[in-house]
Amino acid sequence: MGKKNPILSQFKSACAICRKDMFIYYLKAPVLIYGLLFPFFLFLAFAIGRDISFESLLPTVLGLSIFFTSSSVGPIIAPWETRMRTLEKLISCPISLEFILLGDILAGFLYGMAVTLILLIFFIPFSVFVMENLFILILGIILSNFCFSCLGILLSSPATDNPSNIMMLSYLVKFPLIFISGVFLPINKLPPLGRLIAKFSPLTYTVDLLRYSSGKDHIYPAAFCLIVLFISIAVFLCIGIFLHRRNLPKRF
């Protein structure tokens, strides 16, 4: 048990938590329904019967998938583990709460990345990406998946042992965001109040980056979008850790 580097050993433990989450939660019904089926049908409802080119759908498809998939794993873990009474055992292990949460975030992130990768492979034959923006696209996808996985962890912070309560809360927050973030309707076509609120949604910047990467009209410079995503990650992480730490004793 000679732990030479505490941070490295904590990170290894976080990876073990992530592996556990992947085995247990990826195939749970709420994750499959809200992470895969829901955005798929939402996309179908938007696209079917409209005269929109396939390339134009790309930011919508990827935006929906990144947003819903990566944020679908986090909300289920804490209430599920509270209900199954496995959390107490986990907390008694030599891993800090921050790294337990990091493991959960990584699980959501990898879930989102896997689904995004499958979609990207599907889109490659249609060559909808401007090749010189590929680096920005990859960076944007990574940051966005991480950001929304952190959002999922933040949403799971209330001390309940009922996953459906958290899923409801989660959709109360996430559902309105897709309508004000330029996923279905470009931001410049939103009313002034909608445009103002859109500035506070990280999804706005994800969709804008995707539009930029596929050579479409975009509003913000790519670097600015990336910085906002970084800031969003920091904010979600800090608030999420604070709330989880505060609510932890109420879970036992």
Partner 1 sequence: MSERKVRKVWEKIGAKKINKVIEVSRLTKRFGNISAVNQITFNVIRGEIFGFLGPNGAGKTTTQRILTGIIEASSGSASIMGFDIKTQALYAKEQIGVVPEMTNVYVDLSAWDNLMLIGSLYGVSKRIRTTRATELLNLFNLYERKNEKTRVFSKGMKQKLLLCMALVHDPKILFLDEPTTGLDVQSSRLIREKILEFNRRGVSVFLTTHNIAEADQLCNRIAIIDHGKIAIIDKPESLKRAFQSVQAIEVSFSELIKDENELREIKGVNKAQKAGDKFRIYTDNPGELIAHLINFSRQQGLRILSLNTLGPDLEEVFVKITEEHRGWNHGKEKSNIESI
Q: Which residues bind partner 1 (CB under 8 A)?
A: 1, 3, 6, 9-10, 12-13, 16-17, 19-20, 23-24, 84-86, 88-96, 248-249, 252
For partner 1, give the closer residue by CB, 85 or 117.
85
Could you give the CA distance from residue 121 to residue 29 in angstroms, rounded to a whole number? Answer: 26
Residue number with CB closer to partner 1 (8 or 44): 8
Name the minimum Å distance from CB 91 to partner 1. 5
Residue 59: closest CA among 233, 190, 185, 232: 185
Smallest distance from partner 1 to CB 17, Å: 8
CA distances from 68 to 59, 134, 241, 246 (A): 14, 23, 21, 27
Minimum gap (Å) between residue 23 Cβ and partner 1: 6
Residue whose CB is less far from partner 1, 50 or 89? 89
Is residue 194 within 8 A of residue 180, CB to CB? The reply is yes
Q: In angstroms, what is the minimal distance from the CB of 2 to partner 1? A: 8
Token representation of residue 9: 């050993």
- Closer of 32 and 85 to partner 1 (Cβ): 85
Nearest distance from residue 104's CB to partner 1, in Å?
A: 14
Amino acid at 189: K
Residue placing its CB nearer to partner 1 in the complex, 10 or 206? 10
DSSP annotation of 50? S
Q: How far is the CB of 229 from partner 1 (least distance, A)?
A: 31
Both tokens of residue 225? 């979008």
User: Long-range contact list for 235-241, CB < 8 A, 24+ apart?
Assistant: 236/147, 236/150, 236/151, 236/153, 236/154, 237/105, 237/150, 237/153, 239/154, 240/101, 240/150, 240/153, 240/154, 240/157, 241/97, 241/98, 241/101
Of 90 and 173, CB closest to partner 1: 90
